[in-house]
Structure 1
Amino acid sequence: MRYSREELIRFRHCDPAGIVFYPRYLEIVNDTVEDWFEHIGFAFKTMQQRFGAGVPTVNLNIRFASPCRQGDRLQLSLVCNRIGDSSIVLSIRSAQADNPVFEAEVVLCFTSIGERVEKLSIPAEIRHQIQQYLDETVAATA
């Protein structure tokens, strides 16, 4: 199962050469992750309020394939690759008009928020929703 969204490339994304400045892609990756959590019923604010938890990125790998320019519409898709006790691995692929733009793999770790940040086991309610994505992804590739 893939989560999909579209991002309109705006002036704010671009550098003086007229292409997306690469750190903006990292923001787009984070926005996609945040939107996915909201889609599965656990917006970042909800996780903070109900569980005292956040999901910082602990590892990020990204491969760039082609540039985007202002006005392009970037198609993004997210799949869950793995779920551990306190971490999840997500893949995000992007394309513009059938041309790959970038692929990213993101490892997130559930942690407490506040003064002392500590690793947490993924809360059961959230794990259930993420597991559904993982199971459907595995079934779709079998």
Structure 2
Amino acid sequence: MLTNRRDVQIQWGDCDPANIVYYPRYFAMFDDSTSSLFEAAGCSKRDIINVYGLVGIPMVDTRAKFYVPSSYGDWITIESRIEKFNRSSFEVTHKVTKGEALAIEAFETRVLVGRDPADPARLKSTAVPAEIIEKFMRG
């Protein structure tokens, strides 16, 4: 399965008054990392909308384990991969390292959604296209 790595420098606005990253900021970084993972597979969020006719890939469950804090100016590496595809959902893991140390392990469940054919004002889960799965398997 494809793995994507990206280096991120912690910015002033990521930190709380104690100069450690305020935990919701990590979830924004993980969202960016999931987007980067899809781009690395050759299937950007724009492709999901324009090519596959979907609305997006919202997160329906998330959790994280925090081991090592980070502060303004620190560099971290976020390694992201899809661990498993289900019918309309997939499981993403993010491992954050700071230097050689494992700083965070994070987990997401996301669902592909499109417009409900019976009521276009509503969203409905959509099966993950085989072509998308194949793009991740090549990695």
Alignment correspondent of 2:131: 125
SS in 2 for 1:89: strand
- Identify which range, 114-123 or 62-71, moves more after superposition: 114-123
Equivalent residues of 2:35, 2:45 under 8 A apart:
yes
Helix, strand or coil: the match of 2:138? helix
Q: Deviations over 1:33-65 (max 9, x none)?
A: 011011111111121112222111111111111
Within the alignment, does 1:104 sit opposite 2:106 as a pair?
Answer: yes
Partner AA of 2:14 in structure 1: H
Instruction: Give the Cα–Cα distance (whole angstroms) in 1 for the partners of residues 85 and 138 of structure 2.
Output: 11
Q: For each residue in 1:54-80, what CA deviation from the matched residue of structure 2 results, as whole angstroms up to 9, or x when unmatched? A: 111111111111110011111111122
State the identity as a percent. 25
Match of 1:72 in 2: 74
Give structure 2 stretches of 5+ with no counterpart. none
Asked if structure 2 preserves the Cα contact closer than 8 Å seen for 1:83 and 1:131, the reply is: no
Separation (CA, whole Å) in 2 of partners of 1:87 and 1:44: 15
Q: Which residue of 2 aligns with 1:62?
A: 64
Q: Which moved more, 1:49-58 or 1:21-30?
A: 49-58
Counterpart position of 1:16: 17
Q: Tell me, in whole angstroms, the C-alpha distance in 2 between the residues paired with 1:96 and 1:48.
A: 34
**Equivalences, count:** 133
Stretches (4+) displaced over 3 A = none
CA distance in 2, matches of 1:29, 1:61: 11
| Counterpart in the other structure of 1:27 | 28
Which structure's residues are more often helix, by fraction? 1
Task: Quote how far apart the aligned CAs of 1:115 are.
Answer: 2.9
* Partner in structure 2 of residue 46 of structure 1: 47
Task: Structure 1: state its 5+ residue gaps.
Answer: 134-142
- Give yes or no for contact 2:93–2:107 (8 Å, CA) kept in 1: yes
TM-score, structure 2 length as denominator? Answer: 0.89
Contact 2:3 / 2:37 at 8 angstroms: preserved in 1?
no
Q: In structure 1, what is the Cα distance between the partners aligned to 2:26 and 2:94?
A: 11
Structure with the higher strand share, 1 or 2: 2
TM-score by length of 1: 0.87
Cα displacement (A) at 1:110: 0.8
